[in-house]
Copies of this chain bind each other. A is one copy, B any other.
Amino acid sequence: MAAQEPEDTARRRAPRVDAIRNREAIVEAASAVLAEQGTAVDVREIARRSGVGMGTLYRHFPKKEDLVHTVLRKDFSEWAESARQAAVDAEDPWAALTAFYEQALTGYARHRAIMENFSLTWTVPDLEGLQQLRRVIERLCAGAAGLLRPGVTVDDLLLLLVSLGHAVQITDDCRPQMWNRLLRISLDGLRAEHHEPLPADTAPGTRPPGPDREVRPSGPSHPAAGS
């Protein structure tokens, strides 16, 4: 049942050069378009920009999702790597943390598809790019251990990144530097001089199957349904 591999090397021709070039063109164009418009973009737009027909595009990527995943894996990796690099170039642990956020939020936070998926990934952690980013943050966390407010977790820093990433996207058009203020404020709130314990995360490691949607801390369960 597992004998369906590429068979002998002689049995299958080498891929044609134009096919390879087209595939690269598709990925490149898709990356740009996904960055600009998010995953809701029309597939025809990607085909047009990469200069290939629909048939060619769907030959290389049978589903739109396949193309999106391929592009996102690459871009997400590049993103995490650029942020990591900015951190290791810094002089001290706190500067590393700051540089990490600045780099992460400066370049790729404008990549709409990345931020979309980054938000999604919170409930469906299937994207391995997240693990990559997680490891970077873990190292930063360990490095700045004494400088960080007690109780701060990797998830806190990750959520802060998603949160600020969203702020970047919505303010970028008219207030391109505004997110920087929020970053400063948040980073200062993360300093060790703040001793008050943070409220407990209800599910620090596991996913609670309990009836969480029934009882709310306050306010209506669905705001307008009960008025």
Contact = CB atoms under 8 A, between A and B. Distances in A.
Given A28-B225, A36-B222, A78-B223, A185 B175 contact: no
A65 interface: no
Interface string A177-197: 111111011111110001010
A205 to B, nearest CB: 10
B175 A198 contact: no
Contacts of A71: 224
A199 B170 CA distance: 18
Contacts of A187: 189
Contact of A189 (B177, B185, B203): B185
B199 A177 contact: yes
B162 A212 contact: no
Interface string A140-182: 0000000001001001100110111011001101111111111
A218 B103 contact: yes
A147 to B, nearest CB: 14
B107 A223 contact: yes
A149 B185 contact: yes
Interface string A196-227: 10111111000110001000111110111101
A23 to B, nearest CB: 15
A119 to B, nearest CB: 5
A108 interface: yes
Interface string A114-145: 10000110110000000000000000000000
Minimum-distance CB pairs A-B, first 3: A107-B219, A189-B189, A31-B224
